[in-house]
Amino acid sequence: MATVSSATAAAAGSTTSTSSITEKAMGKEDFLALLVAQLQNQDPLNPSDPTEFTAQLAQFSSLEQLFTINSNLTEMVNTQTQNSSIYALEMIGQNAVVAGNKFEFSGEATELGFELKNAAKGVTLYVMDQNGVTVKTLEQGALSAGSHFAEWDGTNDAGEAVEAGQYRLVASADYGSEQTLPAQTLVVSEVKGVDFNNETPQIITDLGSFDVTEVKSVRKI
């Protein structure tokens, strides 16, 4: 429209508006300043098209809503991060049940677990070394749906102590009718500390570091 250039020039004359537009993308204050300047500098003999002006007001309303939504989302993310940090700190000194299959074996007895969505006729746990070789097989009986745990004493199937290092846990559940499916594996370890260097807090345990979002439950020692 004919008055846009003069409106822009008038708005640019304002120190606040000029600084804002120069240093960052146009914000809602800048947009409103342009509208006001446009009204102040329009030709009385050739006023602005009311239809176009209404459309510009609608754009301003949409811009305002987007800023509000963005502000609310940012606040929600910050609140969630703070809650995760507090939650992680409260776990120190307690046993955390973590959904995962990799863990660091220190040489001491370790509690391993699995989660069943349905009742199973039996479950077999396989402890594997870094090469994928099964070092220990732990047979479990018929179990109901839910979380279950078994202790591994750190020996292989021959009764010999295995070396400390990284191991992997695999669980296979027998649901009958020759249907055997993998089950969600769990590891249990005392939380020694919390690392805040990542996007989400990491709990530090004897079995390694885990994302706080992987924690299924917390149990007192």
The pLDDT tens digits for 124-154 are: 999 999 999 999 999 999 999 999 999 999 9
For residue 83, the number of C-alpha atoms closer than 13 Å in the C-beta half-sphere is 7
Q: Which long-range contacts (CB under 8 A, 24 or more apart) does 194-198 make?
A: 194/85, 194/88, 194/89, 194/91, 194/92, 196/85
Of 113, 182, 111, 190, the closest CA to residue 146 belongs to 113
Do the beta carbons of residue 21 and residue 30 sit within 8 Å? yes
Nearest C-alpha neighbor of 123 from the set 103, 142, 144: 142
What are residue 41's phi and psi, to 5 degrees? -110, 10
Stated as kind and residue range, the H or E segment containing 142 is: none
CA distance 98 to 24: 44
Confidence (pTM)? 0.57
Q: Which domains does the chain have, with CATH numbers?
A: 4-89 (no CATH), 95-219 (2.60.40.4070)
Residue 3's pLDDT band (boundaries 50, 70, 90)? Answer: very low
pLDDT in tens, 204-221: 898 888 988 888 888 877
pLDDT for the residue 50: 59
Q: What does the pLDDT read at residue 206?
A: 83
Torsion angle, CA of 20/22/24/29, rounded to 10 degrees?
30
Check residues 54 and 171 and name the one with the higher pLDDT.
171
